[in-house]
Amino acid sequence: MIFACKKVASPVAYCALSIKTGTRYEPAQYNGMAHLVEHMLFKGTEKRTSNSINNVLEREGGELNAYTTKEEIVLCATILREDLPKAVDLLAELAFTSTFPQKELEKELEVVYDEIISYKDSPAESIYDHFETLLFKGHPLEKAILGEKRTLKKIDSTLLKEFLTSNFRPDNMVFTVVGNIEESAFQKLVQKSVNKYYKTEVEKGDDQPIEAIPNRELDSDPDYEVENMRIAEEGCSSLAIGTPFKLEVTKRNHQAHCIIGTSAYSYSDGFKRIALALVTNILGGPASISRLNNILREKHALVYNIEANFTPYSDTGIFSIYFGCDKSLLAKCKELVYGELEKIVSQPLTERELKNAKKQFLGQLFISQDNAESQCLAMGKSIMVYGKIYPFEQTRKQIEQLTAEDLQQVAQEILSKGRLSELVYK
């Protein structure tokens, strides 16, 4: 197991156990299994009932949570510093000794079925899954995280245990903490808990290796030197995934909901990934000054919400623009969106526009870095993806290196009209 520790002067500690498994790794006939496993981890271990699990941290004022993505399951806890040993031990216990009682599974399936129904009743959310399923048809990423009732009802306790045994292994996990604790002390906590709960017949009696990922400052570690990377001219294999489509679905909604998007860069696409993140922020980031928000909401008052998103995965990614509007305004909204996309593809940013875009984007990133919980989760993700903690300073310098030509080249590669897909709920 790999662990990483960032010491901060705070009475609160954040810890997370990240497992490199998720929806894309589950069998298609059992779609939703990874998410169901995440739910069932809290329903009983070899020594605790579900009520006992919840009491461990909550009675100390702490919080215990978990989530599932396409490529990971994460267990996380927020506690007072003095209760960190309890949190580390509990996360390891959940990961290695959950029992998945059949009776609890039958009850929890009803909860998940209700979650699926609730999600489908929210078109602004469900349209994202539908879009990704269509775009990545035939690829492991097409599977929805929640799964479907027809696939979930095939799952029993034995299958969940097999999934746990296959995927919840120390060599497939990262333990991270942000809190007032020394690295050596955190290592001892992790080592003790992992060796306490993870034992196989072959390894019985042997300590599991616990490898540290030092949280060094960029300038003190030559391995973290920032490369003066440029955007390569050759094609990008991550963009080969995903077939363009256009689909309109009749729904009994008061609004029309629309997603326009395409496949995008993966985590390994380096400089291009950073450039597309900036392009996405310029187009439809959270600020009201983003181009799409400015023209569709502020100027024409056509929408309440419009946003652009870029999510990278291990072998590809997805770029999308979402908006909801009155059904009679759909054509006008799409016209304006495509107009802004054409503009960013054909017209490079001015020097002033580029400077302002970088400053605003970096400001958002700096503010997000001030959140200790986000740091803890980001450390785990970075280690799983890159094998090290990707230094924020490196990201900052890469953003500063970007030119208007870099952004235009990425926009041309990703956002050309022939690549774009469209899904409308009307």
- Separation in Å, CA 110 to CA 86, 114, 223: 31, 6, 50
Residue 206, burial from CB neighbour count under 10 angstroms (0-12, 13-18, 19+): exposed
| pLDDT over 50 (residue 270) | yes
Whose tokens are 């291990």? That residue is 314
Percent of the chain past pLDDT 90, that is, above it, reads: 82
| pLDDT over 50 (residue 303) | yes
2-213 CATH pick, 3.30.830.10, 3.30.460.10, 3.40.50.20, 3.40.190.80: 3.30.830.10
237-425 CATH pick, 3.30.565.10, 3.30.830.10, 3.40.50.12170, 3.40.50.300: 3.30.830.10
Q: Give me 187's structure tokens.
A: 């290592």
**pLDDT, average across residues 125-147:** 96
What local confidence, expressed as pLDDT, does residue 229 receive? Answer: 44
CA dihedral 87, 90, 96, 101 (to 10 degrees): -140
What local confidence, expressed as pLDDT, does residue 200 receive? Answer: 61
Predicted confidence band at 43 (pLDDT cuts at 50, 70, 90)? Answer: very high
| pLDDT over 90 (residue 226) | no
β-strand 255-264 against 421-425: which pairing, if any? antiparallel
CB 338 within 8 A of CB 417: yes
Residue 260, burial from CB neighbour count under 10 angstroms (0-12, 13-18, 19+): buried
**pLDDT, average across residues 199-213:** 66
Domain ranges in the chain are 2-213, 237-425
| pLDDT over 90 (residue 232) | no
| pLDDT over 60 (residue 222) | no
- Which residue type is seen at 107? K
**pLDDT, average across residues 93-106:** 96
**Average pLDDT across the chain, whole number:** 91
What local confidence, expressed as pLDDT, does residue 224 receive? Answer: 38
Largest CA distance in the chain: 69
What local confidence, expressed as pLDDT, does residue 260 receive? Answer: 98
User: pLDDT tens across 344-380, in order?
Assistant: 999 999 999 999 999 999 999 988 888 999 999 999 9
| pLDDT over 50 (residue 338) | yes
